[in-house]
């Protein structure tokens, strides 16, 4: 967390000068009650009119200079806090770009997004407050006390008694309420959860006519929230009345003891007024301190979350001396030797996997959910590193490849059809930024997407909304296939990427893929029909490679494969 | 300004209606606020009087001072008590009003036609339910309290000042609006910057969300540096806007404080001059100085409250927009008795939007126990049929009958009870396995629940769960697989045993063994029941008594498998494409 402090470094000037300007203003502010006391004691007391005007002008003058100082400070605060935020966001985004899949999995997408956006915002606010208020508020408290001391040492004892009391009240009330804010947030989340469930399940709820029970569930959640809020409110409502009572009793004490001081001639009337004013200033400053405590509590949580990201070391990096291997004839395109892999648990996700794929072959990978199919293909472009054994592309361990060159070997169609805001063309150009339209259309043809893209009024330049919301699931999936096909990468991976296609389109797609020459194709699927005709079928079961060969070989030799086939195809289809 | 209030008054009026049940506390809050403010304002007068009794050495009237101070202590204690009471009352009003508003909104969601829920973004509705209503609570109700105390403070201060000295009071009154003017001047100028900033922030949020969520794709396509360039661009833009917006808005505080300083100085000077002339006592100057501070503070606060109120009104409008949606049309009170399983569609026409005809003049007669398969490419509108059968949507013309009764002549509930529905994205709510199975019949005994689970082939996996039937399933059924969720849904239906079924066959996301179980369970479930199946597998289609072929939302063909093949239409093409391709690929 300390490392975050270096983000303040480029703004050293603002961070140091800003509070100084603010301090100047605060000093002026502290002088005002004393000056007013002079006006009353010397001006009014001795009927010295010019003195009144002189001091009055001085107060206004101090105000003008103070305004200038305050504005300068605000400007510095804006520059520094926004600047820190900008740098933090930039570095975090860069860091996220370097993280490996393993770290991305560990964090999770949702939290990374909040960390870059709202956590950084939180820190931005903290930096602004640091410059604007952190020095000012305590300074006003101390300054007002010191000023009171200069007026009368004995009277300042009242201040020394009141300040800790107010501080203690702040501390107790906040200690009692702050933890509850988390509880309230949880209860609010519960309201969101019940609402979401209700909307998602609306058909089932209405089919079973369970609206009344749902309402009861919601009433419970909303009543619960209201009850807790009221209870917490009861304590936090004490804060203002208690602090003002302490302050006002301080004022009463000033008047009471001040009376004796004035009577004995140790104090003047104007000085009593000044003391009363200082007391008021302290209260206002302490309220600010209370807000600051809340802001910095939040900010320190954010800071931890931000630095967690920044300090994460990516597990997969390019090794020194990495180079693209020279092509050798007869070498398998992809080869795995005794590969073990596990995620974050002690249990293996893949165990002892070995196979070799010749250039141009089509490989089908089949197995139930959680059998390790996607995991297996994720090892090839080195999204994850194997725990044991080696993964070789063109006869060289993937860890010896330069990362960019390695990944340029692959065209990947992920399970989730994810497109990005922009146009269809921009989405297709991800693989090869300078691909020609001809290349794009060819990819669209194979992906069975050219027909619908042609029908769009703007064709390739048709807009794609965030996440591809304006396209159907099937259209999105075909576009992600086309995106991978642009530039005809040497290795194509289709990770269960035909799930949203109907069987006719799926079949046409497979026929078109079969016609591609030169590329090695990996097809991950749960549908036997999708992989039946592959040159090599790999059957995974619970992380183990339980069969590899052609469809016919496996029908004879592999029990798991035969079970899968018979559950999906009729006897004669399976025998074909 | 005037046009604004006219526009907002109905919103305010409606909100006040939700506050009505808590009227007592609202009135108490207002009374407490008035009392607390009045007493607080009385304080400086007493202080002033006390100061006037402390004139100088040997001129202090101790008994008088003591008497006033006792008074003062009482006044401040009472003021604090009233302030506390006010906060308690406004809290009650605020929290209970939003609770009621939330409940009303939730009620509404139970009553709106499905069309509305299908067409709204669920995230947006949830935002209205959670954050918008929260904003109403913060902004409107608490802002309201602040506004009210602010106004009372201003009026009260004014009265006290006028009662002490009219001339000086006028000075304060004249200078103070300056701070309001300055604040609104700054607000107007920073508003523009804020808009630009929030636009830039929105862009940034969208980009981050997209790029971080799509990080694995980014990695696969080596898009990192291009993404970073785009990001840096937007980030710089956000910096520029951010500095300006933050600076402009943070000008308000020093500027208004400066104006307050002017007022303070003005009162001091004029007060001193008046005191020298003998029109004013020193104690009165002190009271004035305190008032000068108090008078300007609510002005500053009110300008803040106004923006809060505006956003609260905006949120309230979004909530009321949902509440203004029409309910499902009222229905005939008659109840449809348990049907024998015959369904008739007579010249049914239906469209989601008036311009796009979907189902035109469609007729279908289903005998008890028949199996109807619905086939077609993805997105062809197979759910439309389900929507009409279950009366989630009403037909535009024609009629749908169950056992000869038009389903529009009976209650929706009794129509929906005729069907058991198993959809692909099976819905479970957060609760135990037992509660989920007994969802439609909370009175079911444990034996019945276990029997249903056994029948649905779900018992064996439930037993293996950490707490068996009492295992809590998270939101969206997080802890169990999709196939297992479907088995639970089947068990749920078995418990009610409806005469007819609506099924959505799984495509590909379920592992083979669970799928086999589901197949067996469904087959048992379909025995003797009329069933409508959105079909993906050939065997189901071949065995169906009638196949509805859909394309782009329309029903293009219907008939038995062989009939449709002979007809050589769209179905034949769909069917042929599969085998044709398989043959070419096999070559």
Q: What is the pLDDT of residues B100-159, one digit of tens each?
A: 999 999 999 988 888 888 877 777 788 788 878 888 887 766 677 788 888 888 888 888
Count of C-beta atoms within a 10 Å radius of residue A573: 16
Looking at the fold, whether B145 and B252 belong to one and the same domain comes out as no
Residue A356 bridge partners (DSSP): A335
The pLDDT-based confidence of A370 (bands split at 50, 70, 90) is low
Contacts of B513 in chain A (CB under 8 A): 368, 563
Which letter, b or e, does each residue of A19-52 get, where b requires 16 or more Cβ atoms within 10 Å of its Cβ?
Answer: bebbbbbbbbbbbbbbbbbbbbbbbbbeebeebb
Locate the DSSP E strands across B423-492: 431-432, 472-473
Residue pointed to by tokens 């009392």? B35
DSSP string, B77-142: HHHHHHHHHHHHHHHHHHHHHHHHHHHHHHHHHHHS-HHHHHHS-HHHHHHIIIIIHHHIIIIIII
Same domain? For B5 and B65 the reply is yes
Which residues from B are below 8 Å from A277, CB to CB? 289
Q: Is the pLDDT of residue B490 over 90?
A: no
- pLDDT higher than 60, residue B390: yes
Contact between A526 and B247 using a beta-carbon 8 Å cutoff: no
pLDDT at B578: 55
Residue B426 has pLDDT above 80, yes or no: no
pLDDT tens column, B233-254: 999 999 998 898 888 888 877 8
How many residues does the structure list for chain A?
576
Binary contact (B276, A193; C-beta < 8 A):
no
Q: Which residues of B touch A371 (CB under 8 A)?
A: 511
pLDDT of the residue at A334: 93
Closest CA to A279 of A252, A255, A250: A250
How many angstroms separate the CA of residue A480 from the nearest CA in chain B? 10
Residue A415 vs residue A96, higher pLDDT: A96
Q: Give B122's contacts in chain A (Cβ within 8 Å).
A: 196, 199-200
Least trusted range by pLDDT, from B73-77, B110-114, B379-383: B379-383
- Residue B555 counted as domain residue: no
- A237 vs B contacts (CB less than 8 Å): 84, 87-88, 91
**How large is the average pLDDT for residues B14-19?**
86
The verdict on A571 touching B (C-beta cutoff 8 Å) is no
- What does the mean pLDDT of chain A come to? 86
Q: Are residues B147 and B61 in the same domain?
A: yes
Contacts of B90 (CB under 8 A, 6+ apart): B25, B29, B141, B142, B144, B145
Largest CA distance in chain A: 118
Which range, A66-75, B214-223, B284-293, has the best average confidence (pLDDT)?
A66-75
CATH number, residue B150 = 1.20.1560.10
Contact state of B72 with A508 under an 8 Å Cβ cutoff: no
Select the more confidently predicted residue: B516 or A30: A30
Tell me if B413 is assigned to some domain: no
Q: Give the pLDDT confidence score for residue B462 in this predicted structure.
A: 85
Nearest to B420 by CA among B506, B548, B526, B568: B526
Is A198 close to B109, i.e. CB distance below 8 A?
Answer: yes
pLDDT score for A222: 92
Q: Do A59 and B220 touch (CB under 8 A)?
A: no
Phi, psi for B549 (deg, rounded to 5): -100, 125
CA distance B4 to chain A (A): 31
Angle at alpha carbon of residue A215, lines to A211 and A217, rounded to 5°: 120
CATH classification (class only), A1-136+298-315 = mainly alpha
Identify the bridge partners of residue A463 per DSSP, sorted by sequence position.
Answer: A423
- Location of structure tokens 């785009």: B230
What does each C-alpha distance from A349 to A31, A376, A382, B185, B514 come to in angstroms?
72, 9, 16, 64, 20
Residue of B nearest to A88 (CA): B235
- Average pLDDT score, chain B: 82
* B416/B411 Cα distance (integer angstroms): 9
Asked if residue A464 lies in contact with residue A422, where contact means CB atoms within 8 angstroms, the answer is yes
pLDDT in tens, A240-293: 889 889 988 999 999 899 888 888 888 888 888 889 888 888 877 877 777 787
The domain containing residue B259 runs over which residues? 166-279
Number of domains in chain B: 2
Nearest CA in chain A to B272: A44
Kindly state whether A207 is in contact with chain B, defined as any CB-CB distance less than 8 angstroms.
Answer: yes
Residue A304 to residues A126, A296, A308, A321, Cα–Cα distance (Å):
14, 12, 6, 36
Within an 8 Å CB–CB cutoff, is residue A173 touching chain B? no
pLDDT the model gives residue A497: 77
Residues 482-521 of A with CB under 8 A from B: 483, 496, 499-505, 507-508, 510-511, 514
Asked whether the beta carbons of residue A203 and residue B423 sit closer than 8 angstroms, the reply is yes
User: What pLDDT is attached to residue B585?
Assistant: 41
The upper half-sphere exposure of residue B197, i.e. CA atoms within 13 Å in the direction of its Cβ, equals 18
Enumerate the residues of chain A whose CB falls inside 8 A of the CB of residue B83. 240-241, 244
Q: What average pLDDT does the segment A492-512 reach? A: 79
Mutation site for A-interface testing, chosen from B90, B281, B490, B585 by largest number of A Cβ within 10 Å: B585
pLDDT band at A576 (very low <50, low <70, confident <90, very high): low
- The beta-carbon neighbor of B88 closest among A97, A234, A258 is A234
C-alpha B35, offset from chain centre:
37
Q: Do B95 and B115 share a domain, yes or no?
A: yes
- Residue B402's DSSP bridge partners are B343, B405
Phi, psi of A494 (to 5 degrees): -110, 105
Contacts of B439 in chain A (CB under 8 A): 204, 208, 210
Residue A414 forms contact with B (CB below 8 Å): yes
Tell me if B462 is assigned to some domain: no
* Residue B95 to residue A230, Cβ atoms within 8 A: yes
SS (H, E, C) A16-51: HHHHHHHHHHHHHHHHHHHHHHHHHHHHHCCCCHHH
Tell me whether residue B427 is in a domain.
no
Q: Which residues in chain A have Cβ-Cβ distances shorter than 8 Å to B87?
A: 233, 237, 240
Task: Answer whether B269 sits within 8 Å of A39, measured CB to CB.
Answer: yes
- Cα separation, B379 vs B512, in Å, equals 25
- Same domain? B20 vs B134: yes
Task: Check CB contact under 8 Å for B254 and A116.
Answer: no
CB contact under 8 A, A214 and B110: yes
Lowest mean pLDDT among A72-86, A489-503, B16-30: A489-503
Q: Which residues in chain B touch residue A81, judged by CB atoms under 8 angstroms apart?
A: 246
Per the domain annotation, does B41 fall within a domain?
yes
Q: Are both B55 and B150 inside the same structural domain?
A: yes
What's the per-residue H, E or C state across B44-83?
HHHHHHHHHCECCCCCECHHHHHHHHHHHHHHHHHHHHHH
Check pLDDT > 70 for residue A196.
yes
CB contact under 8 A, A203 and B585: no
- Residue B106 is nearest to which of A75, A218, A276, comparing CB atoms? A218
The answer to whether the Cβ–Cβ distance between B228 and A94 falls below 8 Å is: yes
Largest CA distance in chain B: 122
Looking at the complex, does the CB of residue A164 fall below 8 Å from at least one CB of chain B?
no
Q: What is the mean pLDDT of residues A472-477?
A: 81
Average pLDDT over residues A373-394: 91
pLDDT tens-digit map of B19-60: 889 889 989 988 998 999 899 888 888 888 888 888 888 878
List, in order, residues 6 or more apart from B103 with CB less than 8 Å away: A215, A218, A219, A222
Residue B146 lies inside a defined structural domain of this protein = yes
Q: What single DSSP character describes residue A365?
A: E
Rounded Cα gap, residues B357 and B355, in angstroms: 6
Is residue B226 predicted with pLDDT exceeding 90? no
Same domain, B246 and B205: yes
**With an 8 Å Cβ cutoff, are B232 and A368 in contact?**
no
Per the listing, tokens 């740098």 go with A87
Tell me which range, A235-239, A355-359, B387-391, B533-537, is most confidently predicted by mean pLDDT: A355-359
- Residues B444-466 pLDDT 10s: 899 999 998 888 888 888 887 77
Residues B182 and B65 occupy one common structural domain: no
For residue B583, pLDDT over 50 is answered with no
A312 touches chain B (CB under 8 A): no
Tokens 């290349």 sit at which residue? A439
Lowest mean pLDDT: which of A5-14, B142-151, B402-411?
A: B142-151
A145/B contact by beta carbon, under 8 A: no
**Candidate CATH numbers 3.40.50.80, 3.40.50.300, 3.40.50.11540, 3.40.366.10; the one for domain A334-575:** 3.40.50.300
Query: Is the predicted pLDDT of residue A476 greater than 70, yes or no?
Result: yes
Share of chain B above pLDDT 90, in %: 10
The answer on B204 and B128 residing in a single domain is no
Residues A213 and A217: their CA atoms lie apart, in Å, by 6
Q: Is A339 helix (H, G, I), strand (E, B) or coil?
A: strand
Q: What is the pLDDT of residue B538?
A: 67
Give chain A positions within 8 Å (CB) of B40.
244
Answer yes or no: do B6 and B25 share one domain. yes
Same domain, residue pair B70 and B210: no
In A235-274, the residues whose Cβ lies within 8 Å of chain B are 237-238, 240-242, 244-245, 248-249, 251-252, 255-256, 258-260, 262-265, 268-270, 272-273
CA A245 centroid distance within chain: 43
Pairwise CA distance, residues A494 & A27, whole Å: 70
Q: Are residues B159 and B25 both part of a single domain?
A: yes
Please, which residues bridge with residue B534 across strands?
A: B374, B504
Q: Which of B239, B261, B279 is the last residue of a domain?
A: B279
Say if the Cβ atoms of A369 and B510 lie within 8 Å: yes
List of E strands, B286-425 = 343-350, 359-366, 371-375, 397-402, 405-406, 419-422
């Amino acid at each position: 967390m300390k490392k975050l402090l270096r983000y303040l470094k480029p703004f050293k000037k603002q961070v140091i000068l800003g509070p100084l300007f603010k301090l100047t203003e605060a000093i002026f502010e502290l002088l005002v009650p004393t000056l007013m006391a002079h006006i009353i004691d010397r001006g009014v007391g001795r009927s010295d009119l010019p003195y009144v005007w002189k001091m009055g002008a001085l107060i206004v003058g101090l105000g003008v200079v103070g305004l200038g100082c305050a504005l300068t400070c605000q400007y510095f605060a804006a520059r520094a806090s926004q600047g820190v935020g900008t740098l933090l966001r930039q570095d975090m985004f860069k860091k996220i770009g370097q993280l490996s899949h393993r770290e991305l999995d560990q964090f999770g997408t949702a939290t990374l997004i909040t960390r870059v956006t709202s956590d950084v915002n939180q820190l931005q606010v903290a930096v602004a407050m640091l410059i604007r208020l952190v020095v000012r508020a305590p300074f006003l408290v101390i300054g007002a006390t010191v000023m009171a001391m200069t007026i009368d040492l004995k009277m300042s004892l009242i201040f020394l008694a009141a300040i800790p009391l107010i501080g203690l009240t702040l501390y107790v009330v906040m200690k009692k309420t702050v933890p509850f804010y988390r509880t309230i947030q949880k209860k609010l989340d519960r309201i969101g959860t019940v609402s979401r469930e209700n909307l998602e399940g609306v058909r089932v709820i209405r089919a079973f006519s369970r609206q009344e029970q749902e309402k009861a569930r919601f009433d419970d959640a909303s009543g619960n929230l209201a009850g807790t809020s009221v209870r917490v409110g009861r304590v936090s409502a004490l804060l203002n009345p208690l602090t003002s009572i302490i302050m006002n009793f301080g004022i009463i004490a000033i008047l009471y003891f001040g009376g004796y001081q004035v009577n004995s001639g140790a104090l003047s009337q104007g000085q009593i007024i000044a003391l009363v004013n200082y007391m008021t200033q302290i209260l206002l400053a302490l309220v600010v301190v209370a807000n600051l405590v809340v802001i910095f509590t939040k900010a320190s949580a954010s800071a931890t979350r931000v630095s967690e990201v920044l300090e994460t070391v990516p597990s997969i990096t390019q090794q020194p001396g990495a180079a693209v291997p020279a092509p050798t004839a007869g070498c398998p395109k992809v080869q795995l030797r005794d590969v073990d892999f596990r995620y974050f648990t002690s249990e293996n996700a893949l165990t002892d996997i070995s196979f070799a794929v010749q250039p141009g072959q089509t490989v089908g990978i089949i197995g139930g959910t959680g059998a390790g199919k996607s995991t297996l293909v994720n090892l090839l472009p080195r999204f994850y590193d194997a725990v044991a054994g080696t993964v070789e592309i063109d006869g060289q361990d993937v860890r010896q490849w330069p990362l960019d060159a390695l990944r340029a070997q692959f065209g990947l169609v992920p399970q989730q059809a994810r497109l990005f805001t922009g146009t269809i063309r921009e989405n297709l150009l991800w693989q090869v930024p300078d691909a020609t339209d001809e290349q794009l259309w060819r990819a669209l043809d194979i992906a069975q997407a050219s027909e619908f893209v042609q029908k769009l009024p703007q064709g390739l330049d048709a807009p794609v909304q965030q996440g591809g919301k304006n396209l159907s699931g099937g259209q999105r999936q075909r576009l992600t296939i086309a995106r991978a096909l642009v530039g005809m990468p040497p290795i194509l991976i289709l990770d269960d990427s035909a799930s949203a296609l109907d069987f006719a389109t799926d079949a046409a797609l497979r026929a078109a893929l079969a016609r591609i020459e030169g590329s090695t194709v990996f097809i991950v699927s749960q549908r036997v029909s999708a992989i039946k005709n592959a040159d090599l079928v790999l059957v995974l079961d619970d992380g183990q490679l339980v069969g590899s060969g052609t469809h016919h070989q496996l029908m004879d030799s592999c029990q798991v494969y035969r079970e899968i086939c018979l559950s999906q195809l009729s006897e004669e289809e399976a025998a074909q | 300004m005037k046009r604004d209030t006219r526009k907002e008054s109905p919103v305010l009026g409606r909100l006040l209606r939700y506050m009505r049940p808590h009227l007592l506390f609202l009135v108490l809050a207002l009374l407490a606020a008035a009392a607390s403010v009045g007493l607080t304002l009385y304080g400086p007068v007493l202080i002033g009087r006390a100061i006037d009794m402390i004139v100088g050495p040997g001129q202090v009237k101790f008994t008088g001072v003591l008497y006033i101070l006792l008074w003062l202590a009482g006044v401040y204690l009472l003021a604090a008590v009233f302030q506390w009471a006010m906060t308690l009352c406004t809290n009650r009003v605020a929290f209970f009003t939003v609770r009621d508003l939330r409940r009303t909104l939730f009620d509404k969601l139970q009553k709106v036609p499905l069309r509305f829920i299908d067409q709204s973004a669920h995230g947006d509705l949830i935002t209205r339910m959670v954050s918008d209503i929260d904003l109403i609570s913060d902004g409107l109700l608490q802002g309201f309290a602040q506004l009210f105390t602010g106004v009372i403070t201003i009026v009260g201060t004014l009265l006290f000042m006028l009662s002490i000295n009219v001339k000086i009071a006028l000075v304060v009154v004249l200078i103070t609006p300056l701070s309001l003017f300055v604040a609104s001047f700054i607000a107007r100028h920073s508003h523009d910057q804020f808009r630009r900033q929030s636009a830039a922030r929105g862009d940034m949020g969208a980009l981050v969300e997209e790029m971080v969520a799509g990080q694995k794709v980014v990695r696969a396509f080596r898009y990192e540096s291009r993404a970073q360039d785009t990001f840096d661009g937007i980030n710089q833009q956000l910096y520029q806007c951010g500095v300006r917006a933050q600076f402009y808005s943070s000008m308000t505080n020093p500027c208004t404080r400066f104006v307050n300083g002017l007022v303070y100085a003005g009162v001091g000077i004029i007060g001193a001059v008046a005191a020298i002339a003998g029109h004013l006592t020193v104690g009165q100057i002190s009271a004035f100085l305190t008032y000068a501070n108090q008078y300007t503070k609510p002005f500053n606060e009110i300008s803040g409250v106004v923006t809060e109120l505006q956003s609260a009104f905006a949120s309230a409008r979004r909530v009321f927009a949902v509440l203004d949606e029409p309910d499902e049309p009222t229905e005939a009170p008659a109840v449809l008795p348990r049907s024998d399983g015959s369904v008739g569609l007579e010249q049914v026409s239906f469209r989601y939007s008036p311009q796009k005809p979907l189902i035109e003049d469609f007729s279908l007669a289903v005998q008890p126990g028949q199996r109807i398969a619905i086939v077609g490419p993805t997105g062809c509108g197979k759910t439309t049929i389900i929507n009409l059968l279950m009366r989630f949507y009403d037909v535009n013309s024609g009629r749908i009958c169950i056992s000869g009764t038009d389903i529009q002549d009976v209650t929706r509930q009794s129509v929906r009870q005729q069907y058991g529905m198993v959809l692909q994205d099976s819905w479970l709510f957060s609760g135990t396995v037992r509660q989920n199975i007994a969802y439609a019949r909370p009175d079911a005994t444990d034996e019945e629940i276990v029997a249903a689970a056994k029948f649905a082939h779900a018992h064996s996996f439930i037993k293996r769960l950490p707490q068996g039937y009492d295992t809590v399933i998270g939101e969206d059924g997080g802890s169990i697989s999709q196939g297992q969720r479907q088995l639970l849904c089947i068990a749920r239906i078995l418990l009610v045993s409806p005469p007819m079924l609506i099924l959505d066959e799984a495509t590909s996301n379920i592992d083979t063994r669970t799928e086999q179980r589901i197949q067996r369970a469904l087959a048992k479930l379909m025995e003797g029941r009329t069933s409508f199946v959105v079909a993906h597998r050939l065997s189901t289609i071949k065995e169906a008594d009638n196949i509805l072929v859909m394309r782009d939302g329309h029903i293009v063909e219907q008939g038995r498998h062989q009939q449709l093949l002979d007809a050589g239409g769209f179905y034949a093409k769909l069917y042929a494409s599969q085998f044709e391709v398989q043959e070419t690929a096999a070559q």
